[in-house]
Structure 1
């Protein structure tokens, strides 16, 4: 399963590099035996198995919940947005969040960990998720008001995902989880730029 996930993630990284900035900078390459070189975990990281630590586990579970919420928020824009640019970006966000979520769930299964997709319970910090109050505001808004609120809310949501990914790159142990984190951070930074541009009109 690791080799399959790595192949998917490496391919996604290469596509991202080509599509986003055209600078020719390569995504982190896979090493010779189908697994990227592991980055040393930071001092104080708590090991759970030789393959992953608590930071890896927190990243994976939080990101599954984060992506699941992003799919729902993107679907709202497909139903309610008045700006074609907003709908187009929402469609692309939804198309990437689902496959990434499933890949991270596969990673949790590979580790032998429970897959959790719901937020707010189980002792986990879900402060990076969009609040129910914001959801209610999005459900009630229409037209240009909805578009502006959606763009602001999704930009903040993406920024929270980047923070999760950066924490994983800093504190995680598993090299494949780090590769997922780098790809997520790169893509969502690029989408924040698009969201901000649409806000500025």
Structure 2
């Protein structure tokens, strides 16, 4: 199953890289981290296995929730944005994050873990998710006001995703999870650059 997932992920990285118009020119492609040793993986927190540690698990579950929220916010832009470029970006964000979310869920299943989407309860840290207040503001905004608010909200949302992914690259042990994390960092940083440029027009 790991080989199947790695093949899916590699194909996904290629598609996402070529589809992202805002990627920084000359950026080096992400390298697949080497497989950690048994000694390294056994050093994880309680609940770790030889394949993944607590950081891997928290990253995967948080990112599933984060991507699910991004899909909802992208759908809102497809319905309400007045700027064609904002709509185009929203469509690309949704197209990238939907399959990526499924791949991360498959990774959780491969680890034998529950696919537990972080919600409003359960004592989870929700600081990386968009607040209910921000959602309400988006729902109430119209036309150019909506476009600006959506861009600012999505920039913050993407920056939070990059923070989660960088923590995974630093603290995680599973090489496939690290590959997902690097893909997220590369793509969403590029999209933040694109959204910032749209705000500055």
The TM-score with structure 2 as length reference comes to 0.90
Asked whether the 8 Å contact 2:118–2:124 carries over to 1, the reply is: no
Query: 1:137 maps to what in 2?
Result: 137
Query: 2:45 maps to what in 1?
Result: 46
Asked whether the 8 Å contact 1:12–1:183 carries over to 2, the reply is: no
User: How has the CA–CA distance of structure 1 residues 139 and 59 changed in structure 2, closer, same or farther, with 3 Å as cutoff?
Assistant: same
Query: Is the counterpart of residue 25 in structure 1 residue 22 in structure 2?
Result: no
Structure 1 Cα separation of the partners of residues 122 and 190 of structure 2: 32
Structure 1 Cα separation of the partners of residues 17 and 87 of structure 2: 24
1:53-68 residue pairs with structure 2 within 5 A?
Answer: 53-68=53-68
Asked whether the 8 Å contact 1:83–1:144 carries over to 2, the reply is: yes
Structure 2 Cα separation of the partners of residues 194 and 128 of structure 1: 21
Q: CA deviation at 1:118?
A: 4.0
Structure 1 Cα separation of the partners of residues 128 and 111 of structure 2: 24
Q: 141-150 or 20-29: which moved more? A: 20-29
Compute the RMSD of aligned alpha carbons: 2.1
Structure 1 Cα separation of the partners of residues 27 and 68 of structure 2: 32
Q: 45-54 or 73-82: which moved more? A: 45-54
Asked whether the 8 Å contact 1:129–1:157 carries over to 2, the reply is: yes
Gap runs ≥5 in structure 2: none
User: How has the CA–CA distance of structure 1 residues 14 and 59 changed in structure 2, closer, same or farther, with 3 Å as cutoff?
Assistant: same
Q: CA deviation at 1:12?
A: 2.8
Asked whether the 8 Å contact 1:75–1:94 carries over to 2, the reply is: yes
Q: CA deviation at 1:172?
A: 0.2
Q: 19-28 or 100-109: which moved more? A: 19-28
Secondary structure, in 3 states, of the residue corresponding to 2:108? helix
Q: How many equivalent residue pairs?
A: 195
